[in-house]
Amino acid sequence: MAARDNTALHAALIIMVLLTVLLSVMTYVYFGSAEEQKRMLAAEKEKTNNQQNQLRSLNSEMRVLKFVTGWDPSLQPSDVEGEIAALGDQGANARQVFQGYKADVARFAEGLTGPTYRNIPEHMLAALKSKNDQLANTLNKLRQLEAEVKDVTTREVNRSKEFEKNAQKAASDLAAQIAAHDQERSKWSTEKDTLKKQVTDLGTQINQVKTDTEKEKKIANDAVVRAKREMDIVRQELAKYQKHENFEVPNGKITQVNQKTGTVFVNIGTADGLRKQVTFSVYDQAENSATKAQKKAGIEIVRVIDEHNAEGRIIHTSNKNPILPGDWVYSPVWSTGPFLHFALAPWLDVDGDGTNDRELVQNLIERNQGIIDSQSVTISTRYLVDIGDLPVKSVAGDQLESIRTQRNNLRSQAQEYGTKIINVHELLLYMGWKPQDKVITFGSNSTSESIKERASTDGGFRERNPPR
């Protein structure tokens, strides 16, 4: 009985050992599988994060591409730069695209508002068309001059041939007369002296014809030289137009405005060659061309601060359209490049008082760093400043005729060299200059009739605004 109980106990013990081993094996296998699942889950999370980062980078690159190509007008450069900065190292491609865009804009889209790869080609085509038109006009002038030179040369060559023909005919006539003289010498010995005199006269005529022919040849050669000189001038003008860009562009921009003190600040300074007392016209920042826009104010530089910063005072402005930061400033006289050359008509009446204000205009141009050429227009002259009406009533007849002659000569020279003729009032308008208001002096000798006469002559009394 005892032996049977031990056998059952041994069997139970063996079964327990087997179960324990089996449980240990299953536990080991389970924990190994769990660790593998954890590693796989971590790898999937890391892969998901990488894909999300790549998706953000691709989205940023797509927004940069939409901005530079102009397909998303709501994007601004600051938005694109912010996204690129937020990406860090992952935004290398987007940063490279944006930097290439900025380099292309600086090179090909100067003066273009909101430049993108959609409107840059149109901007370049417009500039190219303008240059081609200028080139075509200059080439037409060159062809006309070549045709004139050809006509002059042909005409002078024909005249030279005609003179040579006459000389040959005279020589033939002389030879015929000499032959006749030899045949009749025995019969006409008494007329020998007469015939010799005739021969001498014919020789003199031949020499005179030769001399006249040489003079005509020299005249023809001088005409050809003058025509070639004019062609050289046209070629220089053509090279000038091919070299320089369009001049009718703003000189700078308003950066700050203080309406209380009547002062402004502009983004040009010593690095641009700016000096005090230079005047500018102010145009709205939405305008692209100063020659077509409406001027809103005028300023005068009173202090040059640094390389790209200067202070100016407001000469005149409008309460309805005040000066704002970002507005353009423009002057047809002052420029950051080579100084512009001007020629002045002999009579320039600025304020309509019948007196010559030529010296005033000259001082304003020189104060704005312009150069006044002498009493003639040269190849370097950019503008001929003229006025529409001549002083018929306020100048004597002889002096008026002299003024008209000088003016016509300057206009002819301007047409010859392709110099632009600009009205003095238009020039002063672009410079931002405003004439001084006239003052009627009242005194003990003034009468009501003289005051009325001066008021009617000066355009009437101006209404005075009440004090603020």
Which sequence spans correspond to the domains of the chain? 2-108, 133-243, 252-330
What's the pLDDT score for residue 432?
A: 62
What's the pLDDT score for residue 104?
A: 76
pLDDT tens by residue, 415-436: 877 777 888 777 777 666 666 5
Cβ(332)–Cβ(422) under 8 Å? yes
What's the pLDDT score for residue 264?
A: 94
Q: In what order do the strands lie in the sheet with 420-423?
A: 371-372, 341-344, 381-386, 420-423
**CATH architecture assigned to 252-330:** Beta Barrel (2.40)
Amino acid at 441: T
Q: The whole model's pTM is what?
A: 0.35
Q: Which residues of the chain have pLDDT under 50?
A: 241-247, 438-468
**Rounded distance between C-alpha atoms, residue 384 and residue 389, angstroms:** 15
What's the pLDDT score for residue 338?
A: 63
Cβ burial of 51 (10 Å; 0-12, 13-18, 19+) is: exposed
Cβ(142)–Cβ(234) under 8 Å? yes
Cβ(312)–Cβ(302) under 8 Å? yes
pLDDT tens by residue, 131-149: 888 888 898 998 898 898 9
Eight-state DSSP code of residue 271: G
